[in-house]
């Protein structure tokens, strides 16, 4: 199974990808995570990537495509989260591998902003939580690894608005691209995590 999960910030993408990868035994591939890891390790690649990420823009396609291609080639079953983000990336991907389905989570900007304000992420393993919807067992502490929970810098409302705008601009083209290939499955992501996940499971299992 080779899946792509698309959705704006606040659509529940992190939570849904965690459940999907566990239940369907998929390798989670996320450029954002790979990039943050490279920056933390202070590699040469990390140095180069940092300037794009800090400016709030995207890392250039050629660099991103190459990194993701290396990851994909190692895996038989995976979930791509945060890739492709541009048409150039979608085209490059289609030359490397045959994708089974593209799950698109749809949610309004208002709902997304409400959700994001309560979002927390583990500073060590990146497991997502939400102070209201998915609270950790112990306040401020990750259930999985005991790491400290934090709020991402780009989860501030102004930053979220900008990310939403960029996402809307890009997703238009991706939607068309994958719809033409009959791979797109649209999911209403405004209900509870349980309901949304149920719909995703149905979409993944349907042929």
The answer to the question of residue 14 lying near ligand AMP (CB under 6 A) is no
Nearest-CB residue to ligand AMP? 32
Out of 32, 46, 88, 136, the residue judged to bind ligand AMP by CB under 6 A: 32
User: Out of 152, 162, 175, 185, which one is annotated catalytic?
Assistant: 152
Which of 72, 79, 85, 102 binds ligand AMP (CB under 6 A)? It is 85
* Residue 127 within binding range of ligand AMP, rule CB under 6 A: no
Among this protein's residues, is 194 annotated catalytic?
Answer: no
* Bridge partners (DSSP) listed for residue 59: none
Q: Catalytic residue at 50?
A: no
- Shortest CB 28 distance to ligand AMP, Å: 12
Out of 5, 8, 16, 83, which residue is the one contacting ligand AMP (CB under 6 A)? Answer: 83
- 85 a catalytic residue: yes
Rule CB under 6 A: which residues touch ligand AMP?
31-32, 35, 52-53, 58-59, 64, 82-83, 85, 89
């Amino acid at each position: 199974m080779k899946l792509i999960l698309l959705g704006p910030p606040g659509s529940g993408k992190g939570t849904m990808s965690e459940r999907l990868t566990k239940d369907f035994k998929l390798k989670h591939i996320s450029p954002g995570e790979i990039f943050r890891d490279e920056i933390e390790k202070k590699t040469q690649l990390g140095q180069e990537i940092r300037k794009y990420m800090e400016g709030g823009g995207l890392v250039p396609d050629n660099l991103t495509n190459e990194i993701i291609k290396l990851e994909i080639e190692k895996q038989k079953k995976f979930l791509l989260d945060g890739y492709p983000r541009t048409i150039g990336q979608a085209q490059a991907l289609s030359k490397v591998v045959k994708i089974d389905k593209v799950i698109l989570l749809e949610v309004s900007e208002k709902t997304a902003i409400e959700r994001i304000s309560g979002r927390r992420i583990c500073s060590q393993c990146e497991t997502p939580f939400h102070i209201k919807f998915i609270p950790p067992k112990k306040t401020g502490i990750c259930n999985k690894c005991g790491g400290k929970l934090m709020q991402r810098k780009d989860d501030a409302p102004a930053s979220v608005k900008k990310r939403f705008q960029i996402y809307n601009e890009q997703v238009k083209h991706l939607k068309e691209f994958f719809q033409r290939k009959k791979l797109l499955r649209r999911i209403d992501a405004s209900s509870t995590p349980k309901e949304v996940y149920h719909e995703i499971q149905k979409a993944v299992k349907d042929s």
